[in-house]
Amino acid sequence: MEIPKAYDPKLAEEQHYSRWEASGYFAPEINKDADAPVYSIVIPPPNVTGSLHMGHALQHTIMDVLTRYHRMRGYRTLWLPGEDHAGISTQIQVEKKLRKEEGLTRHDLGREKFLERVWEWKERYGGEIINQMRREGASVDWSRKRFTMDEGLSRAVREFFVRMYEKGWIYRGEGLINWCPKDRTALSDLEVDKVEKKDGKLYYLQYPVKDSDRRVTVATTRPETMLGDTAVAVSPKDERYRDLVGATLLLPVVNREVPVVADDFVDPEFGTGAVKVTPAHDPNDYAMGRRHDLPQIKVIDSQARMTAEAGAEFEGLGRYEARDLVVAKFEEAGLLEKVVDYEFSISKCARCGDVIEPLLSVQWFLKQAALGQQPLELMRERHEPRFIPENPYEKVYTNWLEGLYDWTLSRQLWWGHRIPAWYDEAGRVFVARTEADARRAAGTDNLTQDPDVLDTWFSSALWPISTLGWPDETPDLKTFYPTSVLVTARDIIFLWVARMMMTGVEFTGERAFDDVFITGTIFDKHGQRMSKSKSNGVDPLEVFDKYGVDATRIVLAATGTTDTRWNDTQVESYRNFANKIWNAARFCLMNSEGAYVGEGFEGDPKSWALHDRWIMSRLQRASYDVGRALESYDFHAAVQTLYHFFWDDFCDWYIELSKADVTVTEATLARNDARSRVLTILEQALRLLHPFMPFITEDLWQRLPGIGSHFLHSAYKDAEPTIMLTSYPQARMGLIDERAEADVQSLIELVSRVRNIRSEMNIKPGEPVRIMIAAPDADARAVFESGAQQIARLVRASDILIGETINAPRASARAVLAGGAEVAVPLEGLIDFAKEHERLNNERGKLEKEAAKLEAQLANSNFVERAPAEKVEELRQRLADLAQRTRQLTQTVEALSE
């Protein structure tokens, strides 16, 4: 069989995905077992405007590992892909293009035509991320791919809205909302970032008291808002201002009379203890204004310009120009007390970065506190969902649910789900599933639909149920809901995870997912968050190109929940691992004539050699450990186990121990059996690795002799042969063989000690040596005797002498082994006595140091009295072993010195 010497990931990556997809292996329908348990995941829908980054690659890898693992376990498995319409980003992107290419604004086109353009854009450029998932090897069911603006999902959005409205949980009203002047839309609190402003200033402004010489000084970071002040507040406990409560101030510049009110919100310790109150432009002031029934004067408009109410001089000025002018006027009037440097945080639009303007406006809101009640109870009473890691996310999630406030739903955009509310000429509102329903309710056809659309997260909140068909009671919804796990990043726990839980419980009575797996964050090598603006992002596609998809996947999977600094060298080492797998398979396949995978090996354990029993035992342990790790989302442990099983146990020892038998040229039964055993272990290892490294494992598996549909899991019997539908190896505990493991361990120790001698004594790698082994224990001797040929091969020995005792020449290098055995390498003319002396003494030094530690512990009467007896006994045993080895070494050293 012709197999290239080095693994080329591209070849494997190009070959298998399209066949998997075309054969329908990704769809749950491939599973023909009516009683199969169900496993389902919905993807966190990426934005249509986005491009693949490491965070996606990480999440996708985790989801694919889980999906492939459960599919191989025989679950009816669904991983549902899809995308999000990303209201603001998409609209901005299309507007930009329109302006650049045609010099048009969306208003030039009009709403309908503009939306046509957005759809065109979406069809053409959208879906970059989702398409790249094929490259990743993601086993998503493409036939169930969904988009938040699909008809079905749009219907779900309307249904959600109407039901909430009917319950009184959605309402329309005036409120102080976060407004992005650049995007010209309202935003929810979660779409606002708090950013530290280092070069901020705090302005101290004096407001004269009416009919008095007194002035009250207020401090503010936003002097321009004073144009909209309607009061000054002080603490009711503040002696300094007690006599002023109820007094009237003369607001400078605008010459408006405003009262001094007492409010507990004010902290007398901070600033001057007096606070200007601008109810129309500040959340705290808004609340205070309501408490004191203050007028709300809007001085800033939706484009962050000053309104007519700000006064003729200010009307039309930008907010920062207005600020300068206000400050100048105060200075002129001698009312600017001082300006000090002041660090504080300002709100910025998470999308475009513009400074948020709190504005008073009429919007649609959802009473999240009501909707969040059930999820909160679910967590408190049933501990659902389960977060991985539990700390700190369970607490973060719970705290969030405990402090819910109204969610601003409406967005002043065109791209998105139009709010299903219509107004008649009298301004009465009709919320309905369809316009026809609204007309019926209104009794007129003369209705106008609300121009606004809903927050994109409103549709995302429905994702687990809407993608499965809700509000219809579809078979998919019945089968796949609740979903098994949600895999996502920590920054959207509130924005998305909690809200999905809310809608899921509200509409189905059940949690949206059993588990929530929160991945770690991948930083650049300096520990900085990867971002477009810093352009320090690592492009997953470039990493794929450089090291292969499988290597990248296994590194990402091992990352799991841990924050990690990205480093190509890790991927490089797993690229090497892939190459190791390739070459191990290459060796097996080059020696596969007359061999086949499977039954022969399983059939008669009595015919197995020691190393066969050993590798089978190791395989069971690995299967057990990997399975357990995957069940507990410990991907790091799973990867470590696989890596060491494959490289250390299988490649370094098993293949080497089998080599003599396997490479025999005559087609003997023994040779073919040995070959079959090696191939069978390889096949099992490939299955274990498959969820992590789907391409190389499939590629190699397809080359194995004798594979076929009979290898598939019973649920997939009708499918064509593919490793992805075989069953995931389950540990057969009966094949764990402690004795074999101990025996092979003693062979490994022997080989290692002799290799060490060879290296320390500078014996040329090609130079054969003779070795003499003394093994007083009969069983140990038997192990060495039966393994003599293998030992000879592994240490390049021309001759091996094994006895109860040996009479080695003085000119020998020696090593003491476990269980009282000893090995000597006669080195007439080669040995450097001084060096050997030093080597042995070093060895003895190590043993003595260890023994001293144990002795000290055992000499401590407190320890002996208080520690568990078995622990004491264990230490005594260890000390005895050490003492014996030390004695033996001492004799060896003495013999050398004679």
Partner RNA sequence: AGCCGGUUAACUCAGUCCGGUCAGAGUGCCUGUCUUACAAACAGGAAGUCGAAGGUUCGAAUCCUUCACCGGCUACCA
In three state form, how does the secondary structure of 659-719 look? HHHHCCCCCCHHHHHHHHHHHHHHHHHHHHHCCCCHHHHHHHHCCCCCCCHHHECHHHCCC
Which residue is it, tokens 């994109």? 456
Q: How far apart are CA 615 and CA 608, in angstroms?
A: 10
Q: How far apart are CA 209 and CA 241, in angstroms?
A: 12
Q: How far apart are CA 556 and CA 552, in angstroms?
A: 6
The answer to whether 181 and 281 have CB atoms below 8 angstroms apart is no
The answer to whether 560 and 62 have CB atoms below 8 angstroms apart is yes
Query: Cβ of residue 553: shortest distance to RNA, in angstroms?
Result: 15
What's the chain's Rg over C-alpha atoms?
37
Q: How far apart are CA 338 and CA 322, in angstroms?
A: 18
Q: How far apart are CA 337 and CA 330, in angstroms?
A: 9
DSSP readout, 558-624?
HHTTS-EE--HHHHHHHHHHHHHHHHHHHHHHHT-TT--SSHHHHH-GGG--HHHHHHHHHHHHHHH
Give me the 657-696 binding string for RNA, x by CB under 7 A, dash otherwise. --x---x---------------------------------
- Piece in contact with RNA (CB under 7 A), picked from 248-256, 291-299, 651-659, 828-836: 651-659
Question: Which of 76, 575, 671, 814 is the binder for RNA (CB under 7 A)?
Answer: 575
Q: Which is nearer to RNA, 103 or 765 (CB)?
A: 765
Question: Which of 434, 479, 567, 709 is the binder for RNA (CB under 7 A)?
Answer: 567
Q: Which is nearer to RNA, 153 or 696 (CB)?
A: 696
Query: Cβ of residue 569: shortest distance to RNA, in angstroms?
Result: 4
DSSP character for 227? G
Q: How far apart are CA 587 and CA 655, in angstroms?
A: 9
Q: Taking CB under 7 A as the criterion, which residues in 186-245 touch RNA?
A: 189-190, 194, 202, 218-222
Please report whether residue 632 would count as binding RNA according to CB under 7 A.
no
Q: Which is nearer to RNA, 430 or 566 (CB)?
A: 566
Q: Which is nearer to RNA, 271 or 803 (CB)?
A: 271
Tokens of 217: 């000084």
Question: Which of 284, 296, 302, 361 is the binder for RNA (CB under 7 A)?
Answer: 284
Q: At what angle do helices 549-559 and 694-701 cross, to 10 degrees?
A: 130
Q: Which is nearer to RNA, 165 or 203 (CB)?
A: 203
Q: Which is nearer to RNA, 374 or 576 (CB)?
A: 576
Question: Which of 418, 628, 878, 887 is the binder for RNA (CB under 7 A)?
Answer: 878
Q: Taking CB under 7 A as the criterion, which residues in 511-530 touch RNA?
A: 523, 525, 527, 529
Q: How far apart are CA 475 and CA 40, in angstroms?
A: 14
Cα torsion through 622, 624, 630, 633, rounded to 10: -100
The answer to whether 196 and 348 have CB atoms below 8 angstroms apart is no
Q: Taking CB under 7 A as the criterion, which residues in 472-501 touch RNA?
A: 490-491, 494
Query: Cβ of residue 126: shortest distance to RNA, in angstroms?
Result: 27
Query: Cβ of residue 623: shortest distance to RNA, in angstroms?
Result: 19
Strands 797-803 and 769-774: parallel
Please report whether residue 852 would count as binding RNA according to CB under 7 A.
no
Question: Which of 533, 535, 569, 807 is the binder for RNA (CB under 7 A)?
Answer: 569
Question: Which of 212, 448, 573, 709 is the binder for RNA (CB under 7 A)?
Answer: 573
- Piece in contact with RNA (CB under 7 A), picked from 20-28, 82-90, 91-99, 269-277: 269-277
Question: Which of 102, 108, 264, 563 is the binder for RNA (CB under 7 A)?
Answer: 563
Query: Cβ of residue 395: shortest distance to RNA, in angstroms?
Result: 6
Which residue is it, tokens 């201002």? 241
Question: Which of 237, 265, 425, 668 is the binder for RNA (CB under 7 A)?
Answer: 265
Please report whether residue 866 would count as binding RNA according to CB under 7 A.
yes
Q: Which is nearer to RNA, 564 or 790 (CB)?
A: 564
- Of 528, 519, 527, the C-alpha closest to 492 is 519
Task: Give residue 416's region: left, alpha or beta (phi > 0; psi -120 to 50).
Answer: left
Q: Taking CB under 7 A as the criterion, which residues in 763-792 touch RNA?
A: 764-766
261, exposed or middle or buried, with CB in 10 Å at 0-12, 13-18, 19+? buried
Query: Cβ of residue 303: shortest distance to RNA, in angstroms?
Result: 23
Please report whether residue 586 would count as binding RNA according to CB under 7 A.
yes
Query: Cβ of residue 520: shortest distance to RNA, in angstroms?
Result: 7
Please report whether residue 268 would count as binding RNA according to CB under 7 A.
yes
Q: Which is nearer to RNA, 130 or 657 (CB)?
A: 657
Q: How far apart are CA 274 and CA 265, in angstroms?
A: 11
The answer to whether 642 and 626 have CB atoms below 8 angstroms apart is yes
Q: How far apart are CA 550 and CA 541, in angstroms?
A: 12
DSSP readout, 779-800?
HHHHHHHHTHHHHHHHHTEEEE
Query: Cβ of residue 639: shortest distance to RNA, in angstroms?
Result: 10
Q: Which helix (H) or strand (E) holds 641?
A: helix 635-644
Strands 82-83 and 336-341: unpaired
Residue 855 sits at φ, ψ, to 5 deg, of: -60, -45
Q: Taking CB under 7 A as the criterion, which residues in 787-846 touch RNA?
A: none
Q: Which helix (H) or strand (E) holds 130?
A: helix 128-136
Strands 522-523 and 797-803: unpaired
Query: Cβ of residue 318: shortest distance to RNA, in angstroms?
Result: 20
- Piece in contact with RNA (CB under 7 A), picked from 106-114, 126-134, 278-286, 306-314: 278-286
Q: Which is nearer to RNA, 158 or 675 (CB)?
A: 675
Q: Taking CB under 7 A as the criterion, which residues in 308-347 touch RNA?
A: 344-345
Q: Taking CB under 7 A as the criterion, which residues in 389-408 touch RNA?
A: 391-392, 395-396, 399, 403
Q: Which is nearer to RNA, 218 or 297 (CB)?
A: 218
Which residue is it, tokens 């079959």? 676
Query: Cβ of residue 489: shortest distance to RNA, in angstroms?
Result: 11
Question: Which of 217, 272, 361, 398 is the binder for RNA (CB under 7 A)?
Answer: 272
Within the chain, what is the greatest distance between any pair of CA atoms? 118
Q: Taking CB under 7 A as the criterion, which residues in 125-184 touch RNA?
A: none
Please report whether residue 531 would count as binding RNA according to CB under 7 A.
no
Q: Taking CB under 7 A as the criterion, which residues in 745-764 touch RNA?
A: 752, 755-756, 758-760, 764
Which residue is it, tokens 């973060």? 396
- Piece in contact with RNA (CB under 7 A), picked from 3-11, 330-338, 468-476, 731-739: 3-11
Size of the site for RNA (CB under 7 A): 92
Q: Which is nearer to RNA, 480 or 692 (CB)?
A: 692
Please report whether residue 374 would count as binding RNA according to CB under 7 A.
no
Q: How far apart are CA 194 and CA 202, in angstroms?
A: 18
Give me the 7-26 binding string for RNA, x by CB under 7 A, dash otherwise. xx------------------
Q: Which is nearer to RNA, 61 or 722 (CB)?
A: 61
- Piece in contact with RNA (CB under 7 A), picked from 83-91, 147-155, 165-173, 558-566: 558-566
- Piece in contact with RNA (CB under 7 A), picked from 84-92, 439-447, 466-474, 859-867: 859-867
Q: Which is nearer to RNA, 112 or 738 (CB)?
A: 738
Q: How far apart are CA 469 and CA 40, in angstroms?
A: 14
Q: Which is nearer to RNA, 282 or 698 (CB)?
A: 282
Q: Which is nearer to RNA, 428 or 565 (CB)?
A: 565
Q: Which is nearer to RNA, 5 or 606 (CB)?
A: 5
The answer for residues whose C-beta is within 8 angstroms of residue 655's C-beta and 6 or more apart is 584, 587, 588, 678
Tokens of 847: 């043993």
- Of 365, 344, 411, 367, the C-alpha closest to 180 is 411
